[in-house]
Amino acid sequence: MKTWLYFQSESKTSAGEKLGGVQSVAARFGWHVQIVEGIPTARKIKSLVSFWNPDGAIVECGGTASDVDPSAFGRLPVVFFDHDPRVLPANAFCVTHDSAATGRLAARELMEGGVANFAFVPYIHRRFWSEERERGYVEALSLNGYGCRVFSARFSAKDSTRWQRRLREFLEGLPRPCALFAANDSTAAEVLTAAKFVGVRVPDELSVVGVDDAAAVCEHTEPTLSSVKPDFRRGGELAALLLVARLRDGASFRGERRCTFGPLAVIRRASTRCHAVDDPAVAAALRQIRFEACSGISAKTVLGGFPCSRRMAELRFRKAVGHSVLDEIHAVQLERAKQLLDGTMPLKVISDFCGFENPNSLRKFFKSKTGMTMTAWRIQNGHRP
């Protein structure tokens, strides 16, 4: 049987979605995906390759700083997934999250809150994805005439209490109200803890957004945490498709060896002040729409989740959000289409990822909402077909 090895990192935040993307492509081409937990030593890699005799491998590094020695795989075709591209050989195949785009999306989200003060808190340890998120966030704010205060303290893992103490001092010194973007959800959770200890009220005085939409974190902070959700499944698909192309073309491969996947959406919860929703049914409906709008969910399905009549549910949603359920679904679908148009995905394929039955339906919808064709929008934003 044709086999791929999938080296899965110890990070479980996005493991299921990444693997799901890989397996969906593998199934289309009739490949078996053999999962290997963690990143083993070079000697263990050699033994695994000898045992399975795979046709290729995907090494999912989970965005960590740990280096994987590409030479350990010998001549086996490999795609590195979420590894720091700066430390890979120039000819290596890799797929990474576009962290700068995530920073830009967080900036747009927080600027909608109407505040004039902004801050960024990086990950406690130096990571390439944290630096890229900071860059995208700060540049987007600067473009719109805003400055940004960046928390600069970094310590070793043994100094986490010292880091938290410095973070509290940083939050106390911020002008208020302020909008803060944290490098990931665990960092954002630390921000919420620090804010609570120094009496900074969230979201009234401080709006907070993280990254990853890790439910185990976001749904259990006080208040619950808004977060930018990366399109992890799309990342898995891209890694698998890149490996397919590498296996198909061999030495004659002339395509792009380095691909990125962007953010999927901002999952809004109570930590962002302009989107805090008191009605739990409406909050649940917003989460459902953010997750399923691009899978073709209908307004009827969303409204069916309310513990009341459909008419009353629509009234409750309008009162809390300011527009209808269908408008919210369309807003998520349009946001998704624009994100995909930022890349090189063919127009005829984009509809599959936005919840539309066919490309023509998406084309008509996009033009009705933007006044432009998808091709014109792509060109205007610097992407030639």
Q: For residues 207 and 297, state if they share a domain.
A: no
219 pLDDT band, cuts 50/70/90, is confident
How much is the pLDDT for 85?
87
Q: For residues 132 and 215, state if they share a domain.
A: yes
Structural domain of residue 314, as residue ranges?
A: 278-378
Q: How many CB atoms lie within 10 A of CB 18?
A: 29
**pTM above the 0.75 mark?**
no
Chain centroid to Cα 245, Å, comes to 25
Q: For residues 74 and 115, state if they share a domain.
A: no
Query: What is the C-alpha separation between 59 and 65, in angstroms, rounded?
Result: 14
Residue 248 in any domain: the answer is yes
Higher pLDDT, 147 or 371: 147
pLDDT tens figures, 177-189: 999 999 999 999 9
Q: For residues 93 and 108, state if they share a domain.
A: no
Q: For residues 112 and 92, state if they share a domain.
A: no
Q: What is the CATH number of the domain that holds 302?
A: 1.10.10.60
Q: For residues 8 and 89, state if they share a domain.
A: yes
Residue 40 in any domain: the answer is yes
**Summary mean pLDDT of the chain:** 88
Residue 239 in any domain: the answer is yes
Q: For residues 111 and 64, state if they share a domain.
A: no
Q: For residues 67 and 142, state if they share a domain.
A: no
Residue 385 pLDDT greater than 50, yes or no: no
Residue 373 in any domain: the answer is yes
Residue 244 in any domain: the answer is yes
Q: For residues 77 and 113, state if they share a domain.
A: no
Residue 358 in any domain: the answer is yes
Q: For residues 104 and 219, state if they share a domain.
A: yes
Q: For residues 141 and 251, state if they share a domain.
A: no
The DSSP symbol for 255 reads S
Q: What is the CATH number of the domain that holds 170?
A: 3.40.50.2300
**Dihedral in degrees, nearest 10, Cα atoms 302, 304, 309, 313:** -20
pLDDT tens figures, 231-257: 999 999 999 999 999 999 988 888 889
The percent of residues in the chain predicted with pLDDT above 70, rounded, is 94
Query: What is the C-alpha separation between 302 and 287, in angstroms, rounded?
Result: 10
Q: Name the nearest CA neighbour of 211 among 98, 321, 341.
A: 98
Residue 293 in any domain: the answer is yes
Task: Give the pLDDT mean for 195-209.
Answer: 94
pLDDT tens figures, 339-374: 788 777 788 888 888 888 889 999 999 999 888 899
Residue 267 in any domain: the answer is no
Query: What is the C-alpha separation between 201 and 70, in angstroms, rounded?
Result: 48
Residue 314 pLDDT greater than 50, yes or no: yes
Q: For residues 212 and 106, state if they share a domain.
A: yes
**How many independent structural domains does the chain possess?**
3
